[in-house]
Amino acid sequence: MSHHNLNTLTAVELGELLAAGEISSVALTQACLDRIESVDPGVKAFLSVDREDALSQARASDERRAAGQPLGPLDGIPIALKDIVAVTGQPLTCASKMLENFVSPYDATAVHKLKEAGAVLFGRLNMDEFAMGSSTENSAFGRTSNPWDLDRVPGGSSGGSAASVAAAETVLSLGSDTGGSIRQPAAFCGTVGLKPTYGRISRYGLVAFASSLDQIGPFTRCVEDAAMFLDAACGHDPKDSTSLPGLETNFLEGMKNHRDRPWKIGVPKEFFAEGLDPEVRASVESAIQFYKESGCTVEEVSLPHSSYAVPVYYILATAEASSNLARYDGIRYGHRSSEATDGIDLYYKSRGEGFGEEVKRRIMLGTYVLSSGYYDAYYLKAQKVRSLIRKDFDDAFSKVDCLIGPATPTVAFRAGEKTDDPLSMYLSDVYTISANLAGLPAMSLPCGMSSDGCPIGLQVISPVLQEAEMLAVAKRFEEAHPYSGIVAPSNGKAGSAS
Amino acid sequence: MNPEQSIDLDRLCVLARLSLTPEEKEKLGPQLARIIGYVEQLNEVDVDGIEPMAHAIPMENVLRKDEATPLVDREKYLKNAPASRASQVVVPPVIEG
Amino acid sequence: MKYEAVIGLEVHVQLKTNSKMFTSVPHGFGNEPNRLIDPVVMALPGSLPVINREAVAKSIQVGMLLGCDIAEVCKWDRKNYFYPDSPKNYQISQYDQPLCLNGLVEIELAGPSRSEEGPHRKVKLTRIHLEEDVGKLTHFEQDSLVDYNRAGTPLIEIVTEPDIYSADEAFAFLTALRRILVYAGISDCDMEKGQLRCDANISIRPVGTTTLGTKVELKNLNSISGVRNGVAYEIARQNQVLAEGGSLVQETRRWDADRNMTTSMRTKEEAHDYRYFPDPDLMPVSVSEEWKAELAKDLPEVPFDRQRRYQQEFDLPYSSASVLISDRMLADFFESAVEFGGSPALLANFVVNDLTRELSSGDEGVDLSNCKVQPQGLSELVKLVEENVISNQIAREVLGEMLKSGGNPRDIVKEKGLEQSSDEGELEALCREAIAANEKAVNQYREGNAKAINAVKGFVMKATKGKANPKVVNDLIERLVNE
């Protein structure tokens, strides 16, 4: 195998090459850094890259391997990080002016676990400010472009994470998903993106947007890579009270064990209602056809309350966010206004200057729905409808093993297209939000391209804790439609791996 | 309720301790009204007897042992403070109240 | 018109745990600024709280001690408000499902004299919830400094019904509450260290009416006597305002102990809107019967129950029983000595009077728990008195020696030859000598001044260095004088 374009291979392939001694982690890491240098001026996936630190991690990995002591299948594999997880000594900006100069004094648990697995953790990936957005246009440091078409958005909020994998600037990346922030950009950029069951991966060190919905997950080129990431990152964390206890799962093995099951697949009819782009519909329907032909039973199911998912989400997520973001006051850290006349004025001005438009909008909305006199009508009501949404899934999963449908209603939209219409932006998460509300694992995998060359994503949603089954379902499609080494053209500078 | 009327932006700014420029307010007012109008479709849902859901995966009694960790290198948690003096964080004068 | 005061108290108590409420950083008073911090205490981005089991356990115990209904399930809510001493700008607290509801605190009001028991009554509690403390702000002219050492300390808030009707009752309430909490090892309740803090809601209303008057919230009551003085001042102030034809405003006032007055901090301008909602980072806590049973095992008898038992079971006078129960160490010491044997009344006397006096005038840092006299030794000593081996007076001398050397009282008595003399022959000779030497006093005695005879007795006791059996001496002198 040629060792050119190392950065375009999958982690599974690279792991084999590393194990065979055919390549070094330093060479692989350097290939990613070179690629960033050549394409990131156009894609702008990264806010910053500590090259020296990345290479020194790669050297340490190579030394471990030389000593016969690799830490596992991810040892030496570069993983780029959304700028929302804490890494000791690295910036943690959440793409906000508020945290422009913040340097984390501690590691997120997921970061700690990936470090222990030997991964080369590098870079700070662009995102919507504090993960609030669906296009990565809400970054205080400029928008990220979709590597397939630089005029389009990569999706969001983990737009940098999706774009960096699609543009082959890294092998894997880490993102976070509150209402679709992994699956929607994965679909827009043509990568695999997975949001685990709520509580699978510790949230300790993941900057909170909406605590009851946030989950960390991977962006990868293939389904197996996602399983490998989960193997390293999942596990109970005593520092996160919402972390699920005592679950030892080998996802890679589990996925293989479930390989040939005759799945009973549900197709939620509400996901094919108005607003779904015809090309996306056609592509997803052909994927459904594939499953039928490969021995699965497919039946239509209903999630009757799914149309309420977006309003429920925008009440609950903004309410939690209004409180989660109260800590950014310019006192212990963060942007401090130089105009403040006293300690109270400091709050108004520091927060007024430090937060961007969408963040302010959501803080105000969240403050409103919690405020005296409105709590029952909005917040409490939304919590109850959330129960109903969860119950819809329970009912569906009493009949089928998993659900499939589109990840997004459309392919990647053009930059600037929705920035003045927050509500239409919110609706781009219409198919992804319910899985967060119900705490379910869900993923997006590439299932086709639109006529104008934009990737289309297929979403799989599984019952709680059934990631291995979900991966197996996705794997079946992928085996028949394998990853071809095609990476996004990124302004025409990239091509396929030869 | 009519969202347009029920939104008191100035009051929300006070509660959220957030200053908005007049231009921001002009833009935000109608946007919030539209979003709130949109989320009011929840009114049509019958939630009689439905329990509110506060956690995605509910659990109980997630407790830790009362053990104290040794205190080493606490300075690093103060390093991001915009202003500090004598190991304390400096804020502009706060009127007691 | 005559007015009566109605008072409700909100008492905050720091719990005596090893670590903070939501993270494993130690807590305590008197550390260098910002030593007791970590990502959770500083509310760094991405940090998360985890509940301290012991803090919940201690709060349940408080509820049990005060007869509260312990919630089967309690949950955690965020109270949203901004202040520089609050790192997250929300406080994790309990809003609509607190750990404890209802409950009673028994109080004792002052009696006619210090040695007479006063009336008891029970003050109703509304609730007790668990939350976290805030940091500490120090104000300067140009700026303020924030120290987060205190932030995140486990804190319970005990809220009473408006069921306290005078400054003396408020004082009695806090005294009783503090004693229970210290007894059970819940908190040291040192008000100077801020371990116990109290706010009072005070209003007055015409006697005979039931609606509450305009409420004033009184803050900065930083000592138990401050509570009494502050509340008394505020009641008097409100009465005066009404007497002068004025009207009261709902406001927050501050007790200024130096100037001995309350001053207005703020009137009710912007109503608070704390936007409480369930904390998504924390799961509810359920309290099982098993857990309660396990916690009940460690609960002490509450002080007033103990006092009643001492008065009934040991026939102790109120004056000693009340002193004994004022301090758990004292009461435990006494009870332990009783178990080793000896008259409870005598033991109580020695504990309440002699031992405490000796200890308070002795070396710094020496108290009941570590002094050289332990319950068994005291019991031995009292037995010597009961067996007429030594007199009360000699016993005090022996006690002093025991505290110094740590010796056994019987050995000390033997070594120093302190046994009481009851040899009538020897004592008769001495008594005759004493009568001869105190002719004047004897004559006065014979003329009807009973007390005059004490000089004669004193002569004998002095000559025997106190070892003469006082009863034998008494009888002898009585006989000889009347010969």
Distance CA C194, CA A108 (A): 34
Decide: C147 and C27 in contact? Cβ < 8 Å: no
- The answer to whether residue B52 sits within a structural domain is no
Interface contact A351-B51, CB threshold 8 A: no
Average pLDDT over residues B44-55: 96
Give residue A2's pLDDT. Answer: 44
Interface pTM, i.e. ipTM = 0.96
Which residues constitute the domain of residue B13? 3-43
Assess whether C280 and C408 both reside in one domain: no
Assess whether C337 and C278 both reside in one domain: no
Give residue C442's pLDDT. Answer: 84
**Mutation target vs A (from B39, B72, B95; most A CBs, 10 A cutoff):** B39
Assess whether C280 and C385 both reside in one domain: no
- The answer to whether residue B28 sits within a structural domain is yes
Assess whether C402 and C463 both reside in one domain: no
- The answer to whether residue C364 sits within a structural domain is yes
Nearest residue to C136 (alpha-carbon basis) of A105, A323, B87, A346: B87
Give the catalytic positions of A in this structure. 82, 157, 181
Treating both helix axes as pointing N-terminal to C-terminal, what angle do A11-19 and A223-233 enclose, rounded to 10 degrees? 70
Interface contact C143-B15, CB threshold 8 A: no
Number of domains in chain B: 1
Give residue A99's pLDDT. Answer: 98
- The answer to whether residue A369 sits within a structural domain is no
Average pLDDT, chain C: 91
- The answer to whether residue C10 sits within a structural domain is yes
pLDDT higher than threshold 90 for residue C476: no
Give residue A3's pLDDT. Answer: 52
Which residues constitute the domain of residue C461? 424-481
Assess whether C88 and C117 both reside in one domain: yes
pLDDT higher than threshold 60 for residue C357: yes
Query: Looking at chain A, which residue has its C-alpha nearest residue B33?
Result: A365
Assess whether C26 and C112 both reside in one domain: yes
- The answer to whether residue A159 sits within a structural domain is yes
Q: How far is C134 from chain A (nearest CA, A)?
A: 14
Interface contact B20-A360, CB threshold 8 A: yes
Mark the ranges of chain A whose per-residue pLDDT is less than 70: 1-4, 483-486, 491-498
- The answer to whether residue A461 sits within a structural domain is yes
**The three-state (H, E, C) secondary structure of chain C, written as one string:** CCEEEEEEEEEEEECCCCECCCCCCECCCCCCCCCCCCCCCCCCCCCCCCEEHHHHHHHHHHHHHCCCEECCEECCEEEECCCCCCCCCEEEECCCCCCEECCEEEEECCCCCCCCCCCEEEEEEEEEEEEECCCEEEECCCCEEEECCCCCCEEEEEEECCCECCHHHHHHHHHHHHHHHHHCCCCCCCHHHCCEEEEEEEEEEECCCCCCCCCEEEEEECCHHHHHHHHHHHHHHHHHHHHCCCCCCCEEEEEECCCCEEEEEEECCCCCCCCCEECCCCCCEECCHHHHHHHHCCCCCCHHHHHHHHHHHCCCCHHHHHHHHCCHHHHHHHHHHHHHCCCHHHHHHHHHHHHHHHHHHCCCCCCCCCCCCCHHHHHHHHHHHHCCCCCHHHHHHHHHHHHHHCCCHHHHHHHCCCCCECCHHHHHHHHHHHHHHCHHHHHHHHCCCHHHHHHHHHHHHHHCCCCECHHHHHHHHHHHHCC
Give residue B6's pLDDT. Answer: 67
Final residue of a domain: which of C253, C273, C291? C291
- The answer to whether residue A347 sits within a structural domain is no
- The answer to whether residue C226 sits within a structural domain is yes
DSSP assignment letter at B77: G
Q: Which residue has the higher pLDDT, A26 or C423?
A: A26
Assess whether C140 and C257 both reside in one domain: yes
3-class secondary-structure state, position A481 = coil
- The answer to whether residue B64 sits within a structural domain is no
Give residue C358's pLDDT. Answer: 81
Q: Is residue B2 packed enough to be buried (19+ CB in 10 Å), middle (13-18) or exposed (0-12)?
A: exposed
Assess whether C464 and C325 both reside in one domain: no
**Mutation target vs B (from A310, A338, A384; most B CBs, 10 A cutoff):** A384
Nearest residue to A95 (alpha-carbon basis) of A158, A169, A189, A180: A158
- B79 shares contact with chain C (CB less than 8 Å): no
pLDDT digits (tens, 9 = 90+) for C249-262: 999 999 999 999 99
Distance CA A382, CA A401 (A): 27
Residue C159 CB: number of other CB atoms within 10 A? 17
**Mutation target vs B (from C23, C34, C82; most B CBs, 10 A cutoff):** C34
Assess whether C123 and C256 both reside in one domain: yes
Q: What is the CATH number of the domain that holds A134?
A: 3.90.1300.10
C414: which residues sit within 8 A by CB, 6+ positions away? Answer: none
B74 CB neighbours in chain C (<8 A) are 34-38
Interface contact C47-A379, CB threshold 8 A: no
- The answer to whether residue A36 sits within a structural domain is yes
The CA-based angle A31-A35-A40, given to 5 degrees, is 150
Residue type, C430: L
Number of domains in chain A: 1
Question: What residues of chain C, 42 to 61, have a C-beta less than 8 Å from chain A?
Answer: 42-51
3-class secondary-structure state, position A263 = coil
Final residue of a domain: which of C291, C314, C337? C291
Interface contact B42-A386, CB threshold 8 A: no
- C34 shares contact with chain A (CB less than 8 Å): no
C142 CB neighbours in chain B (<8 A) are 93
Give residue B47's pLDDT. Answer: 96
- The answer to whether residue A335 sits within a structural domain is no
List the subunits that have 3+ CB pairs under 8 angstroms with B: A, C
Q: Which of B18, B28, B45 sits opposite A351 (nearest CB)?
A: B18
B92 CB neighbours in chain A (<8 A) are 340-343, 345-346
Q: How are beta strands C120-132 and C100-101 bridged, if at all?
A: antiparallel
Residue C402 CB: number of other CB atoms within 10 A? 25
- The answer to whether residue B39 sits within a structural domain is yes
Assess whether C404 and C441 both reside in one domain: no
Query: Looking at chain B, which residue has its C-alpha nearest residue A368?
Result: B12
- The answer to whether residue A493 sits within a structural domain is no
Query: Looking at chain C, which residue has its C-alpha nearest residue A209?
Result: C46
Interface contact C19-B87, CB threshold 8 A: no
Interface contact A348-B94, CB threshold 8 A: no
- The answer to whether residue C296 sits within a structural domain is no
C273 CB neighbours in chain B (<8 A) are 15
DSSP assignment of A407-442 equals: SSSSSPPBTTSSTT-HHHHHGGGTTTHHHHHHT--E
- The answer to whether residue B11 sits within a structural domain is yes
Q: How far is CA B16 from CA A333, A359, A380, C137, in A?
A: 18, 12, 20, 22
Give residue A4's pLDDT. Answer: 61
Q: Which residue has the higher pLDDT, C481 or B22?
A: B22
- The answer to whether residue B36 sits within a structural domain is yes
Distance CA C362, CA A96 (A): 64
3-class secondary-structure state, position A190 = coil
Which residues constitute the domain of residue A146? 6-304+390-480
Decide: A418 and A428 in contact? Cβ < 8 Å: yes
Q: How far is CA C53 from CA B58, C150, C280, in A?
A: 19, 19, 18
Q: What is the CATH number of the domain that holds C452?
A: 1.10.10.410
Backbone φ and ψ of C336, nearest 5°:
-65, -40
Interface contact C33-B86, CB threshold 8 A: yes
Give residue C433's pLDDT. Answer: 84
Give residue C171's pLDDT. Answer: 96
- A361 shares contact with chain B (CB less than 8 Å): yes
Q: How are beta strands C3-14 and A172-177 bridged, if at all?
A: unpaired
Q: Which two tokens stand for residue C18?
A: 């090893």
